[in-house]
A and B are shown apart, each in its own frame.
Chain A
């Protein structure tokens, strides 16, 4: 059997799909740590920073949404690839900060990007694991017949979800949006995916109130908190990550038949600097192959993998097989090994 479950997740192969380019857009407005001194005190800020590692982060302004960052990224991406807007067959928008509860933001983006109406468009509600899930989904939509070109639009403006008085989250998150172009290609290398879910962790990283399940005020951890903001039980999420991520990456390598030494890059969801360093050490990865940029941009949720990829340089810097790993809210996790030799565009912009 080609597809099967392992301890780390569902094993899936994808053929005939090439990754052509990525653009990530970040807000211009940079928030430095001293901005938090008056609220939390300098000592507390230093303690938090020791753990999360974030020195600066970008926050969207009141009028900017995730869709705006994804749209700007997509416009630059298709212009640089020379793709006509009408050649795009589907768009997938991955975010937990859509423009509206309804309609799907992907529908709005079809029109804003001036794509043709015979275009499939859908939203996916995932965060930290969302980029890798989106790559799998977008790749699987491509059949070489009706669907040949897909745009994956992934990002979050988590700054709009956080309580500025919550030390656990206020300094951690940054905003960004991305666009990734995928195309049918008979000659493309096989991609490998491992996907998993454990909803038993649903309450450790969540916004408890504000959608359609009535919040029953039955969680002791939320007693003093406003349940309409993002809640994170850092220790629980940390526990989950340390347990799951190292075996996930090792299982993906085993599944793809690749060696750690032959992989050019390992791109991790930029969750927390302390945690990332620990995972990299545990996997015995060379630091230069596993870039960290959370100190400059914070945790940007579903945009963190494209943000760290577009931060390493031009498309020429990204050659060979790369591993991407996302993990967190859900709990949900995904790891993928893709060849990026066909990439033509890799850029980071500010809007």
Chain B
């Protein structure tokens, strides 16, 4: 999980301490480049693929975490 938070910090270009479930993605550069980078990160760390369109609609980091949990079960 730490690897995922570090990866998200790099993608959003913020300090890793700021990467918390309550983080508002729209406050940062949550654009199409960030979405595909996150897809690759999630594939690396959890070995699951998230849907790009669903990911683009995530508002908070907790939404991404929930999507990962859902994909793991599928």
Contacts and interface: CB of A to CB of B under 8 A. Distances in A.
Chain A interface, >50% SS class: helix
Contacts of B56: 235
A274 B51 contact: no
A239 B51 contact: yes
B39 A47 contact: no
A242 B55 CA distance: 15
Given A50-B33, A51-B37, A274-B36, A235 B52 contact: yes
A235 B32 contact: yes
Contact of A281 (B32, B44, B51): B44
Interface string A206-242: 0000000000000000000000000000111011001
Contact of B36 (A47, A238, A281): A238
A140 interface: no
Given A242-B43, A278-B43, A281-B44, A236 B52 contact: yes
Chain A: interface residue count, which band?
A: 10 to 19
Contacts of B52: 235-236, 238-239
A319 interface: no
A239 B37 contact: no
Interface string B22-40: 0000000000110111011
A242 B39 contact: yes
A37 interface: no
Interface string A28-65: 00000000000000000001101100000000000000
A276 to B, nearest CB: 11
B49 interface: yes
Contacts of B55: 235
Interface of A: 47-48, 50-51, 168, 234-236, 238-239, 242-243, 274-275, 278, 281-282
Given A51-B36, A274-B40, A278-B40, 17 more contacts: A47-B33, A50-B33, A51-B33, A51-B37, A235-B39, A235-B53, A236-B53, A238-B39, A238-B40, A238-B52, A239-B49, A239-B51, A242-B39, A242-B49, A274-B36, A278-B43, A282-B43
